[in-house]
């Protein structure tokens, strides 16, 4: 009997260790950043917050009249062999846009194509509709996510990386 209990306990621990936590970036932003760092074995360029593939992050963008104050950044590592990665932004109260790039924060920063906008994927759903980007057959890399308040309005949002 003890062998089955021990085996079940070890299996439960293994599943728990591989399940990333949900992250609340609202009033508990420092705690959220610590949880994201613990869940993600990736180092991000500033100002990106590390998160993990499979994570859900609840955060906010404050009202801001200039770029990049009207943006939030995240990064995650993707291993080789994935069929696809889908990044979604939902639950917003203002028009937010989603930009995704790889291997550096510069891959998503920039607001004007003539100024050297370098994102690789984007979603600009109208209004508060869910923004989504799917990357088919992604290469092993560190991916960066930029979420921008189109009109500089404050908004909560939920970022999901699957």
pLDDT of residue 124: 82
Which CATH fold would you assign to the domain 22-161? Jelly Rolls (2.60.120)
Instruction: Say which DSSP state 70 is in.
Output: T
Which run of H or E residues covers position 31?
helix 29-39
Closest CA to 89 of 162, 10, 7: 162
pTM for the whole thing? 0.72
pLDDT along the chain (162 residues), means of 10: 35 36 40 40 87 95 90 95 97 95 86 61 91 96 93 96 96
Domain residue ranges in the chain = 22-161
pLDDT of residue 42: 74
CA distance 61 to 68: 11
CA distance 100 to 135: 9
Largest CA distance in the chain: 68
pLDDT of residue 24: 42
């Amino acid at each position: 009997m003890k062998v089955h209990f021990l085996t079940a306990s070890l299996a439960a621990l293994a599943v728990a260790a591989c399940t990333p936590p949900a992250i609340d970036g609202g009033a508990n932003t420092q705690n959220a950043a610590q949880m994201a760092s613990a869940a993600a074995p990736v180092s991000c360029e500033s100002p990106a917050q590390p998160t993990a593939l499979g994570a859900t992050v609840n955060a906010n963008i404050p009202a801001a009249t200039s770029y990049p104050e009207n943006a939030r950044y995240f990064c995650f590592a993707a291993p080789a062999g994935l069929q696809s990665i889908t990044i979604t932004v939902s639950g917003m109260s203002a028009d937010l846009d989603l930009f995704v790039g790889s291997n550096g924060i510069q891959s998503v920063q920039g607001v004007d194509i003539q100024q050297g906008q370098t994102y690789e994927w984007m979603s600009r759903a109208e209004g508060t509709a869910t923004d989504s980007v799917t990357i088919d057959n992604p290469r092993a890399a560190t991916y960066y996510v930029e979420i921008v308040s189109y009109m500089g309005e404050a908004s909560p949002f939920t970022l999901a990386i699957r």
